[in-house]
Amino acid sequence: MELKWDVPVFRPWIPSKLPSLPLLLMLVLSLCHFSPTKCLDLDPDDKSSLLCFNSSVQDPSRSLATWVGSNCTNWTGISCENRTGRVVSVNLANMNLSGKVLPCLCNLSFLEYLNLSGNNFNGTIPTCFGSLASLKTIDLSHNSFSGVLPDNITRLGQLRELVLNGNRQLGGDLPWWIGNFSSNLEKLDLSSNSFNGEMPDSLFHLKSLRHLDLGDNYISGNVHEFYQSLEFLGLASNKLFGTLPCFSASTKSLTVLTLANNSLVGGIPTCIASLEALAHLNLSFNHLSYGISPRLVFTEKLLVLDLSFNDLSGPLPGKIAEATEKSGLVLLDLSHNRFSGKIPLKITELKSLQALFLSRNLLTGEIPARIGNLTYLQVVDLSHNSLSGSIPLDIVGCFQLLALILNNNNLSGEIQPELDALDSLKILDVSHNKISGEIPLTLAGLKSLEVVDLSSNNLSGMLNDAITKWLNLKYLSLAHNKFSGNLPSWLFTFEAIQVIDFSGNKFSGFIPDGNFNISFRSNNGNSVRDPKVPFISVKSIEIKVSAMVIDTSELSFTFKVSSMVGIDLSDNLLRGEIPNVLFEVEGLEYLNLSYNYLDGQLPSLEKMWNLRALDLSHNSLSGQIPGNISTLKDLILLNLSYNSFSGSVPVNQGYRRFPGAFAGNPDLCVESSGEGCERGSPPAEPGKTFEEVEGPILVWVFCVSAFVSFYLGVVGLFCSARARSYILQTKV
């Protein structure tokens, strides 16, 4: 509210008119009466303490530049008691501050709330915090504090919230007193630190406790019952073992339960379904076994259920949760188990479902046509099963679908033209099936596509112009099909493309000689990789999904392709010379043109600074070996075998790190130290390439193995008003 004052006009002050002075004083006092905070001065001792604290703080964003003068309301992050001016709250969260916390902060003897989260404060937690007897909340999360939790905190008998998560160097044994120093403690968050040892018994009996998060530490021991009414229990990513308790004391209150990434054994007790308020259950990455009882049916309040990466078996549960038109599960992940049988029709009745993961099980039968009833579905992964039949046409009913992942099944039939109705689709992976026919021209309507993998099927025909409409394309694999015809001139012109794999087909003609897009040239998809792990070690695409369920109905979907940047046209019928422009693409990390009929000479490779693998074997290339190949520092695989190269390869050019790279070139002289020249000779079993020298590496693996990681992030999976601030991280 803005106060307006009708202030009388005063004449210039004349000593003889002293009565005007009291009138002015009354005006000032009235201002302070109506808006007391505007005149609230910091207590001088507290001001000195804050300035002392600030003296050790690095503040590049100048967030604390307002800490001048004495008016408390002007000091960023500081709140004072209305009458005394004593500091009661210090909230400096997310201000890009760093440095050590000096003990002078502990002189704020009336402090009730302290929040330094989301900065980069370091050093140990000051032991003097125990002297702040009025403290009700301490939040030091997401900093760089180290050492152990000081015992002096046991003096804080009024403390309600202790939040220290996200300080990786903070740890040691979980203090024995952590459950009995304050009978008022409601929230304890020590997650994402380095605490070890077992949970003290007092923690299971602290009646006031409502929120407990000890996830992502090194805590060991058996999982016990808790004897208070918890609302949030996070124990994920520890070393806990034993069987799953019922959490009976929290039947009406527990909303979030996550025990993922531990060593729990046994089955899932049906009493878990008695948790009436449960909205989020994550038991993934354990050793849970046996089947799921038909009596294990959760209420419609359950939004997220993740049982992935266990050893659960038997049929998929016919009914896992109650559902209504507007409430029920939004994310169901039963992937990486041993479930068998058909996909039950009851799953298609979960009308609010937005993400469905059933991959890497033993499922058989056809994909239910009723899956089209899931109109909110945005991500579906049924890969690595034994599903048969065709892709149901009814799936177009999932008109919001963003990712359709059906690879490694026994699906057959053709790609239906009607799939163009999925115009929001970003990821289409139907690789390693038995799908036949051609790519329908109508798929030109899928303009949002970024990742397309149709490899290892029975697809045929020539490439049509529908592909040119996929303007956002980052990854395209048509490998190991029966495509034929000439490669089109537009092949390398996609602006965001990072991987093209057309290996194992019947493409003929010449390699297009055109301009390459900026993505290939700049290598903007390159990620930081461990140099000790060869890129050929990963033989499959990996998808990682993370979801956040918040109070809204909107979905935000993003993902990042972080793959090797490369081109694989191997095992086709290509002929002619390799275009020089192909060897001028600086961002290219691997190039495989082996098993074709290419001829001509090999040009200079000096511009291909990022090249890590080059396979031109089994062609008809001739001329001399360029001397600058050995200067490519990142090159770890080289195969020029079975060509018609001639001349000599000097020993001082470092080619000895590529044994067998020149086999099958009889006119090529490969110098050896002190031995003169050796003619390129075929290995013991002609026709093989890298297998003899690099271990069990198959040629067809070349491109797929180069796809080091493929990250799909569902950054926001926003569902109903009951799902406020629940966070799930699921790995597929």
pLDDT digits (tens, 9 = 90+) for 242-271: 999 999 999 999 999 999 999 999 999 999
Residue 724 confidence (pLDDT) above 70: no
Count CB neighbours of 509 within 10 A.
14
459 phi and psi angles, rounded to 5 deg: -70, 150
DSSP label at residue 388: B
Strand 709-717, strand 555-562: pairing: antiparallel
Residue 248: predicted pLDDT: 96
Average pLDDT over residues 331-350: 95
Residue 709: predicted pLDDT: 32
Count CB neighbours of 72 within 10 A.
22
Average pLDDT over residues 507-512: 94
Residue 81 confidence (pLDDT) above 70: yes
With bands split at pLDDT 50, 70 and 90, how would you rate the model's confidence at 713? very low
3-state SS string over 209-260? CCEEECCCCEEEEECCCCCCCCCEEECCCCEEEECCCCCHHHCCCCCEEECC
User: What is the token pair recorded at 351?
Assistant: 């009308």
Residue ranges of alpha helices (H) inside 314-409 are none
Average pLDDT over residues 361-377: 96
More confident residue, 273 or 650: 273
Q: Which of 288-292, 367-371, 488-492, 715-719 has the lowest mean pLDDT?
A: 715-719
Average pLDDT over residues 41-63: 95
pLDDT above 90 covers a percentage of the chain that reads: 69
User: What is the token pair recorded at 359?
Assistant: 């991959």
With bands split at pLDDT 50, 70 and 90, how would you rate the model's confidence at 37? very low
Residue 236: predicted pLDDT: 98
3-state secondary structure (DSSP) of residue 272: helix
Q: Are 125 and 145 in contact (CB under 8 A)?
A: yes
3-state secondary structure (DSSP) of residue 195: strand
More confident residue, 677 or 223: 223
Q: Which of 358-372, 380-394, 630-644, 662-676 has the lowest mean pLDDT?
A: 662-676
With bands split at pLDDT 50, 70 and 90, how would you rate the model's confidence at 561? low
Residue 693 confidence (pLDDT) above 60: no
Average pLDDT over residues 140-160: 96
Whole-number average pLDDT of the chain: 84
pLDDT digits (tens, 9 = 90+) for 266-321: 999 999 999 999 999 999 999 999 999 999 999 999 999 999 999 999 999 989 99
Q: Are 229 and 210 in contact (CB under 8 A)?
A: yes
With bands split at pLDDT 50, 70 and 90, how would you rate the model's confidence at 541? very low
DSSP label at residue 28: H
More confident residue, 653 or 433: 433
Dist. CA 154–CA 447, nearest whole Å: 60
Average pLDDT over residues 378-389: 96
Q: Which residues of 283-315 are buried (b: 16+ CB within 10 A; e: fewer)?
A: bbbbebeebbeeebbbbbbbbbbbbbbbebeee
Angle among Cα 359, 698, 617 to the nearest 5 degrees reads: 140
3-state secondary structure (DSSP) of residue 459: strand
H or E element: which one contains 26? helix 20-34
Average pLDDT over residues 204-224: 97
Q: Are 89 and 112 in contact (CB under 8 A)?
A: yes
Dist. CA 655–CA 666, nearest whole Å: 17
Residue 725 confidence (pLDDT) above 80: no
Q: Are 525 and 519 in contact (CB under 8 A)?
A: yes
**Helix, strand, coil percentages in the chain from 3-state DSSP, rounded to 5:** 15, 25, 55
Strands (DSSP E) along 353-394, which ranges?
355-357, 362-363, 379-381
Q: The pTM is what?
A: 0.85
Residue 15: predicted pLDDT: 41
